[in-house]
Amino acid sequence: MKLQAQYNRISIISSIIVLLIAGIGYYFLIHYVLKEQLDNTLRVEQVEIQDFIQTEHTLPAATTYKDQKIEFKKADQVFPQSFRTFRLYDEEEKENELCRQLLFPVQVDGQWYTASVTKSQEETEEMIGLILLITLGLILILSSLLFFASRFFVKRLWQPFRATLSAIKSFNLDAPVPIKTEKAAIHEFNELNESVNLMTEKVVKDYLSLKHFTDHASHEIQTPLAIVISKLDVLIQDPALSEKNLTHLQSIYNAVDKMSKLIQSLLLLAKIENNLFSESSVVDIRAAVRNKFLEFDEWMQEKKLALNNEMKDLHVTMNPQLADTLISNLVINAIKHADGQGEICIHSDNKSFMISNPGRNALDSHRIFDRFWKSEHSDGTGLGLAIVKRICDQYGYSIQYEFKEGVHFFTLVF
């Protein structure tokens, strides 16, 4: 529900409730006041009658004047005075009229009489009716005013908010420019705009510094690594090195290589996350996979692995460098972790690519694509499959791992 509609609903409902309560309260109050006034008139009449009896020692004539009627009836005994309201048939107007009556005892020559003064209450009722009508009219006018006001004026009031919203919607880190909004007449919107401006400025700044971090980290770490490797390359030229020392050097080489690979993988992940691989072209997946296996032909021979090729034509539009990394990581993973003799099977149709390798135990399918997750015997960086997953996420591809009857299956759906 729109804020405006919600606001309308609340304000209209609450004003109707308030006006209704006020109307009802008003009704009873007026009713009470007018009745008191009527009763007072009746009492004035009572006093006049009593005064008349006091001086004349006789009953005044029973009269009917306008809407006022005075009557006397013999009574057996004295009784307390009382007011009552009742309906009386009016001869003139041919209808039942609401009347207010004061009954009180009077004594003339030792005889008790019931004196009654009756007055029509119609006028009062009419007035109350009018008040009710005015109240209802007010409710109607106020709610329709509220409705139209919100429809035409509130919409204009929200205009700066809409402008800010559309600026936020079109904010894109591929073209990182902070949002600049115009000054609005309303304080709250200005506050919102200021926060949005500050926030996007910070986002853009952080994004750019993260982007530059990739370059800086690469430079800062690669240079000391380059020195270590170059020193090793010079050191092994020494003919006096013993076999034992050469073995140590081999370990250093391997560790440095691994570190270098690790840093490259981390930088690659950061680059993918920073969308630094935006350009794309059509990639022939079948050819890419075939070329990878040609590259690693001797490795396959060494591990006594056969290749079962069931690849069909498969073209995908993506960044060629990422496509190469994707295929390369999957192929290397399959050859590297192929356990025992057997075959690596590659299969593809027009939508998916599957690669399988023999293995002993099922791997944790929930964690296999996590960063730095490694099977017990792996000496890799633990980033190869994480990179595969990240590339898939980037393009919305799905990658799935399954283990069936001693074979690991990796299925990639483009």
Partner 1 sequence: MKLLIIEDEKELVESMVTYLQHESYVCEVAFDFKEAQDKIETSEYECIALDISLPGGSGLKLLQELKNNNKSDGVIIISAKNSIDDRIHGLQLGADDYLVKPFHLSELAARINAIIRRKMHNGSNVISFNEISIDLLTKEVRVENSMVDLTRKEYELLLYFISNQRKVISKNALISHLWSHEIGTGENIDFIYTHIKNLRKKIQEKGGGDYIKSLYGMGYKLTDQ
Interacting residue ranges for partner 1, rule: CB under 8 A: 215, 218-220, 222-223, 225-234, 236-237, 243, 246-247, 249-250, 253-254, 256-258, 260-261, 264, 267, 295-299, 301-303, 321, 328, 332, 336, 379-381
**Closest C-alpha to 85, from 128, 28, 130, 124:** 124
Q: Which 3 state secondary structure label does DSSP give 113?
A: strand
What type of residue sits at position 80? P
Nearer to partner 1 among residue 163 and residue 249 (C-beta)? 249
Minimal distance, residue 166 CB to partner 1, in Å: 33
Nearer to partner 1 among residue 184 and residue 331 (C-beta)? 331
Nearer to partner 1 among residue 137 and residue 340 (C-beta)? 340
Longest dimension (CA), the chain: 158
Instruction: Using alpha carbons only, give the angle 408, 372, 227 rounded to the nearest 5 degrees.
Output: 120
Nearer to partner 1 among residue 47 and residue 234 (C-beta)? 234
Minimal distance, residue 242 CB to partner 1, in Å: 9
First to last CA, the chain: 38
Residue spans of beta strands (DSSP E) within 7-59: none
Minimal distance, residue 387 CB to partner 1, in Å: 12
Minimal distance, residue 180 CB to partner 1, in Å: 29
**Residue given tokens 């399954």 in the structure block:** 402
Nearer to partner 1 among residue 99 and residue 331 (C-beta)? 331
CA distance 388 to 334: 13
Q: Which 3 state secondary structure label does DSSP give 367?
A: coil
Minimal distance, residue 379 CB to partner 1, in Å: 4
CB 345 within 8 A of CB 308: yes
Minimal distance, residue 361 CB to partner 1, in Å: 18
Nearer to partner 1 among residue 41 and residue 280 (C-beta)? 280
Q: Which 3 state secondary structure label does DSSP give 193?
A: helix
CA distance 20 to 202: 52
